[in-house]
């Protein structure tokens, strides 16, 4: 009898704030929700494990919840990788095919790709993704599949995403110790894009920004290919700690105030509104103006978007984003975030509402679950590409590019 779990796909997102496990089933009519589990992340900060035991326990909790809902053990998963240790860069490589144009063979394509990836990396870094942008045959750019075409010179442009080896390995170890084998890893915004970006945006030029708790990741697409990735070490936790210090209130209270009364545009907060702020120690709580909350949050939001703008500008990407900028992640729910982002970045902005799985609870259709949902779509796409590898060269090429590790 066929094992029904063979059709299950599991994604694990070990975020700075929450750990999320999502299980989907591949059916004839598409992907169907089977279960999920969410736990508060412990022992990990900004995508890096700082306390293995605590991290294992919170992953285990989310895994067990998901197992209870889907009624089956979770043995394998796709794991998300994020955090400031991840870096992106463009690279290219090429080779001469001779003095006369001749037909390009598979091995030559492989060799060109090998040359593009042959960049000396520090000992503690590994290649997470090698994403194709285009092949160039002599002077002709924009070729997607050069097999069988004629040229004297073959070049390839790729986007490489690298990650700290030990940072990545520690998250893999934590998931393994929670009893789940990691089949593959994915840079989280790359997966998130599968849940929130549309094909026309990717073609025209779009930037997806994942505003998490510990950091903000960004990915830029143009002509359907990834051309830039980066991580900025600021996320929602920084907003919360600013409020905690500024209002002299415990972090947990600052977090509640941020979600309930926060707005990153002071002038959008009605004058005269008041907020009760619990104090630290035995001191009584106080009433403060809601505008004071905005006065603390606005400079942090402005700083974050200025850093994002500078990153895009310095890499020549700001002008590429003609299709706009899409915000995802829990911090994108902060009131006023679209307004401030638009005023700093001067590009059309929108929030991300991830594509849902069939039968999925509506509580998961929120920006903070876009990454784990995208991981399911990405995992499904990779599985199809791998399945077709023996029959179609283009898929084989995708497999080659998507492969992990140098």
DSSP code at position 272 = T
Give min distance, CB of 304 to ligand ATP, in A.
Answer: 12
Output 79 or 213, the one with its CB closest to ligand ATP. 213
Q: Are 304 and 214 spatial neighbours (Cβ–Cβ below 8 Å)?
A: no
358: three-class secondary structure by DSSP: strand
Contacting residues for 404 by C-beta, under 8 A, at least 6 apart: 126, 127, 128, 129, 184, 185
Give min distance, CB of 81 to ligand ATP, in A.
Answer: 10
**58 is a contact residue toward ligand ATP (CB under 6 A):** no
> What is the distance between the alpha carbons of residues 295 and 306, in angstroms, rounded to a whole number?
17
Q: Are 152 and 180 spatial neighbours (Cβ–Cβ below 8 Å)?
A: no
- Kindly tell me which residue out of 8, 9, 10, 16 binds ligand ATP, with binding defined by CB under 6 A: 16
Give min distance, CB of 125 to ligand ATP, in A.
Answer: 20
**212 is a contact residue toward Mg ion (CB under 5 A):** yes
- Kindly tell me which residue out of 158, 263, 368, 373 binds ligand ATP, with binding defined by CB under 6 A: 368
Dihedral-angle region of residue 248 (phi above 0 means left; psi in -120 to 50 means alpha; beta otherwise): left
- Kindly tell me which residue out of 58, 84, 244, 331 binds ligand ATP, with binding defined by CB under 6 A: 331
Residue 153, number of CB atoms within 10 A of its CB: 15
Give min distance, CB of 212 to ligand ATP, in A.
Answer: 2
> What is the distance between the alpha carbons of residues 360 and 377, in angstroms, rounded to a whole number?
14
Output 244 or 382, the one with its CB closest to ligand ATP. 244
Output the DSSP codes for 299-317: HHHHHHHHHHHHHHHHTT-
For residue 236, the partner it binds in Mg ion, ligand ATP, none, with Cβ less than 5 to 8 A by kind, is ligand ATP
Output 47 or 146, the one with its CB closest to ligand ATP. 47
For residue 16, the partner it binds in Mg ion, ligand ATP, none, with Cβ less than 5 to 8 A by kind, is ligand ATP
User: Interface with ligand ATP by CB under 6 A: which residues?
Assistant: 15-18, 41, 47, 82, 212-215, 235-237, 240, 255, 258-259, 262, 329-331, 333-334, 368
User: Interface with Mg ion by CB under 5 A: which residues?
Assistant: 15, 212
């Amino acid at each position: 009898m066929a094992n029904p779990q063979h059709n299950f796909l599991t994604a694990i997102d070990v975020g700075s704030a929450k750990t999320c496990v999502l299980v989907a089933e591949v059916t004839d009519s598409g992907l169907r929700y089977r279960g999920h589990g969410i736990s508060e992340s412990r022992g990990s900060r900004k995508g890096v494990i700082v306390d293995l035991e605590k991290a294992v326990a919170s992953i285990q909790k989310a895994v067990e919840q998901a197992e209870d809902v889907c009624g089956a053990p979770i043995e394998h998963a796709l794991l998300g990788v994020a955090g400031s240790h991840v870096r992106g860069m463009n690279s290219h490589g090429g080779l001469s095919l001779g003095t006369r144009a001749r037909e390009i063979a598979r091995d030559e394509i492989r060799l060109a790709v090998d040359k593009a990836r042959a960049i000396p990396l520090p000992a503690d870094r590994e290649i997470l993704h090698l994403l194709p942008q285009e092949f160039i045959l002599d002077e002709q750019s924009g070729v997607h599949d050069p097999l069988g075409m004629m040229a004297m010179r073959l070049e390839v442009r790729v986007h490489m995403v690298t990650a700290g080896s030990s940072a990545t390995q520690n998250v893999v170890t934590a998931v393994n110790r929670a009893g789940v084998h990691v089949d593959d890893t994915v840079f989280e915004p790359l997966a998130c894009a599968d849940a929130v970006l549309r094909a026309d945006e990717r073609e025209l030029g779009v930037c997806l920004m994942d505003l998490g708790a510990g950091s903000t990741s960004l990915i830029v697409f143009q002509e359907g290919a990834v051309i830039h990735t980066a991580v900025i070490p600021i996320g929602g936790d920084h907003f919360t700690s600013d409020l905690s210090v500024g209002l002299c209130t415990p972090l947990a209270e600052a977090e509640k105030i941020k979600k309930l009364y926060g707005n990153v545009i002071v002038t959008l907060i009605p004058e005269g509104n008041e907020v009760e702020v619990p104090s630290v120690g035995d001191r009584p709580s106080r009433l403060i103006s809601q505008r004071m909350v905005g006065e603390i949050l606005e400079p942090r939001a402005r700083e974050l978007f200025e850093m994002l703008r500078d990153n895009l500008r310095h890499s020549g990407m700001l002008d590429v984003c003609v299709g706009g900028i899409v915000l995802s992640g829990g911090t994108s729910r902060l009131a006023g975030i679209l307004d401030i982002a638009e005023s700093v970045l001067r590009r059309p902005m929108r929030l991300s509402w991830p594509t849902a799985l069939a039968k999925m609870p509506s509580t998961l259709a929120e920006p903070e679950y876009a990454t784990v949902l995208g991981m399911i779509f990405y995992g499904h796409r990779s599985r199809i590409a791998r399945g077709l590898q023996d029959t179609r060269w283009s898929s084989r090429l995708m497999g080659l590019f998507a492969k992990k590790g140098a």
